[in-house]
Amino acid sequence: MGYTTGLLERQEKLGRPVLVGVVGAGQMGSGLVASICKAPGLTVAAVADIVIDKAESALRNAGRDDVVVAGADLEAAKKALTEGKSVAITDGLKMPELPVDIVVEVSGVPEIAAQIAYTCIAHSKDVALMTVEADITVGVLLSSMANAGNSVYTVMRGDEPVECLKLVEYAEDLGLKVICAGKGKNNVNIHTSVPEDNEADAARKKMNPRMLTEFTDGTKTQLEMAALSNATGIPVEVEGMHGPECNLDELITTLIPKADGGILDWENGPCVEYVTGNVAPGVFAIVKSESDVVTHELDYLKLGHGPYYLFYRPWHIASIEAHLSIGEAVLNRRADFQSRYVCTEVVGRAKFDLEPGTTMEGMGGHHFYGWAIPAEKARELNAIPVGLIQTSKLKVAKKQGEIITYDDLEVDETRPLVAMRRLQDALVTRGMIGA
């Protein structure tokens, strides 16, 4: 049964569609609001954005002509929703208090995303994130909290980690061995990339230059594949991953063990990886058949010439398909994607030589880029997760390329995200979460 059938049956039974609250009305958020409002059995009942005009516009552009601009007036918002109207509010942290069925976070800001998720779970409200940076920082904590209670916490469909996970799950369900899984990246890493380098391109793409820099300096890819690692328990084989230049027709001969002509050592089994070339915007899983009968069948069905085969999805369509996770959560009470393992950490490496006293910018800025390493090594180094570096003050000089540690920084302990990560680390150390 597809989600549409189930959602429409639910709507007929309850007399209303699934009421969705969206936090964030930027480019991605506005697109998601429009997509949800076109999906049978769903509607966006409320949008929160600190710029209230954006929230209102997102609803009106999606076809809602009944918008009540409630701002900070939560009682007015609740009244409008009970009357079947849509509302625009300013504080996303108040969204769980409204009578919506699920809250969708599209802020793009890890600090906000994590707080939204935490607040929703505390209110036993289902929550779906599009900001993978939050999940890579405190996703193990959030998923364990939700799974222990009555709410669903999930990262949403449409981005590479989730769609790649679906390929991995498909291969495993078929009884095939996963060798390597990952994504295509459409540009090479420029670790010294800064926002000023990307202003013109960002303007053409209608993006924030800092957000674009998170892609060009390689941080985003490191985060996405680390998220896939922590959802599957599949590690990176080398720090930062191999990242070979590799086209689609070369994947099946490149990302396999060295013994069979590839580049993987295969000492620790499968790995997550990325490639540059014409694979983007797709995701892939390289699998191996260990049955002569299955190999013969797959060859006969023109999947390739075994024992290695490529499962490939040539697209991910972000906000357009993100709402599929709403159906999975509401109907099946399951998450599409959660960080379940403490497998890979993304740490910061200095973009340039940094002086003591520097107040560190966040991701996509001038001071550091993300680098995926095994979580065990991160603990040995006392390396700070990349999501916590922002606003901390550097106590020592750091050379270009050096990994930044807790010892190097005066960490801003007032940040809720820091407190959440401290709690996660304590629970992981005690073996209470993080399989």
| Bridge partners, residue 89, by sequence | 48, 71
Report the number of secondary-structure helices (H) and strands (E) in the chain. Answer: 16, 15
Give the model's pLDDT for residue 1. Answer: 55
Distances (CA, A) of 383 to 223, 351, 374, 378, 405: 15, 16, 11, 5, 4
CATH number at 3-159+327-332: 3.40.50.720
Q: In a 10 Å sphere around its CB, with 0-12 CB exposed, 13-18 middle and 19+ buried, how is residue 175 labelled? A: exposed
Give the model's pLDDT for residue 386. Answer: 97
Residue listed under structure tokens 């609001």: 33
Q: Which residues of 88-107 are buried (b: 16+ CB within 10 A; e: fewer)?
A: bbbebebbbebebbbbbbbb
Residue ranges for the chain with pLDDT beneath 50: none
Determine the Cα–Cα distance for residues 242 and 273; give it in Å rounded to an integer.
7
- Sign, CA dihedral 44-49-53-54, equals negative
Determine the Cα–Cα distance for residues 313 and 217; give it in Å rounded to an integer.
25
> What are the structural domain ranges in the chain?
3-159+327-332, 160-315, 344-429
Give 64-93 pLDDT, tens digit per residue. 999 999 999 999 999 999 999 999 999 999
**Cis upstream peptide for 96 (omega within 30°):** no
Joined tokens for residue 296:
């013969």
Determine the Cα–Cα distance for residues 113 and 130; give it in Å rounded to an integer.
8
Distances (CA, A) of 47 to 134, 135, 140, 404: 20, 22, 27, 37
Q: Which CATH architecture has domain 344-429?
A: Alpha-Beta Complex (3.90)
Determine the Cα–Cα distance for residues 241 and 244; give it in Å rounded to an integer.
9
Give the model's pLDDT for residue 207. Answer: 84
Joined tokens for residue 413:
């302990």
